[in-house]
Structure 1
Amino acid sequence: MLNQQQTGLIYGLTAYVLWGFFPIFFYYLSAVQPTEILTQRIVWSFVFVLVVVMLSGKQSRIKDALKSPATRKAMALSSVLIAINWLTFIWAVANERVLESSFGYFLTPLVSVMLAKVFLSETLDKYRIIACVFAVIGIAIQIVLIGSLPWVSLIVSMSFGLYGLVRKQAEVDSLSGLTIETAVLLPLAIAYWAWLATTGQSGFVSNGSGVTWLLIASGLVTALPLLLFAAAAKKLSLTAVGFMMYINPIMQMLSGIYFFGEPFDQAQLISFGFIWVALIVFSVGAIIQQRRMKVLANPVQ
């Protein structure tokens, strides 16, 4: 029998590995325009999570969450933010800019720290400050040596960082939250899908049954890792979850280099290197902070 830690580890690793394979999954949908992929992802994610909600009998959680005006506003905003994040990522895959996307997900923890400082007035220890400085240097190197603003990376990291910030303020679990978010986006998604179909631009059927089934499966591959992650988070420490989150951008980076064949030159290596150093410093600070909290919670008698 597996203990709680082992079960949580399996759930967490499975979730992050699935997220890491996202670029390859969406690559096989490149015949469909990114906006329609987003539309299909919203529709089928809603269908999947609604079935899970109905089977698990958790409808009351959604009703309770929607009773709060503050929660309704937060969920409306989080819906927009996750749609921006999804669309940017899908566009990056379609245009073979997966390395920029992975750079953005490497940046996300550091962006979240800076947002927490700005919006929640959280104090930054020396480790977080140093990590943020290294991250800024990494971005600056991209601008100077590569010669362009890494806007894909910035949109990915900012949209997901803001999404996490907003969701932190909303008292709603992961399953209920995704159900509400996709429900908010659903009318627009269906309207856009109908317009594509009536104008003969929809790729849902015209690109073959394989693409059709992959579009339907996009709902499952969107919701399943989130549910696995939520289950893992209940069984593992924040440090363990924090370290596993790097699996996703590492896998995306490797798929960008070896599957998509994107160039990874010295300038990019230096830029990524500063981000990796920033994450190491950030992680060391998180470990030290957690150990201090344990000591305070369980002082030696």
Structure 2
Amino acid sequence: MNNSSSSKSHGLDQPELSGPKSLRTKMGKPEDSEKKIFHKKLKDVEISVPIVYGNISFWLGKKANEYQSHKWTVYVRGATNEDLGVVIKRAVFQLHSSFNNPTRVIESPPFELSECGWGEFEIAITLFFHSDVCDKPLNLFHHLKLYPEDESGPMSTKKPVVVESYDEIVFPEPSEAFLARVQNQPALIVPRLPAGSVLPPPVPVEDPSKRKRGDTKDHPMSQWFMNFSEADELLQLAAARQQVQAHIAKFRREISLLDGQQQQQVNSVSDQ
């Protein structure tokens, strides 16, 4: 399943996509000991961080062999490709035991790794947060997908297989220090504070030209990333609701028809 390699972008053919899976993960409230360290907690306030995790894989074509048939990249990114380094300190990817050094630690964004191999397997992803965010890590699981759903069709070196899941990490009762630090960060959903609440002065956003960029907007594979939005979710829910209502109406018509037939049979027997 193994052997390492770096990733690169390919052509513009439509990728083999797997339907998005949406989650909302709520992290535990901070313990009393944390309150002493990070001062005042904000009651009835939540900060959410939309993330996407998954993989993109390319078939190697003529370069493929028994042990290396695909080049793939597994990653955790911001749902709008913003820098997650403001919240996530490091990510640990646990690969199959057949890989050299299967525990891969990524200390800075973008949180991703690339490999070559031939087999599909489950990858455990552990996210560790900065000390003022949360002291408990978050465990995610992603099944590496290399082959398209339609296995009978021809494989292409330019058409990747893309599998992504959407999640919102929710931090209840954040510290004032955390909120002050991230209130100007576009990667997070920061609520309005209750009337009368006063925060420390906002921390200035670091000049992007003075640091390594951690967003994935210019990622070489960003053309394959799927789009996730609340509007899309609402449209999907509305479409699903219409489908369910149509099925209910159809079943009611069928039941009504069956009831009518049964009544006719009863009337026929009575007439005899």
**Shared fold, TM over 0.5:** no
TM-score (norm 1): 0.23
TM-score (norm 2): 0.25
User: Which entry has the higher C-alpha Rg, 1 or 2?
Assistant: 2
Structure with more strand by fraction: 2
Higher relative contact order (CA 8 A, sep 6+): 1
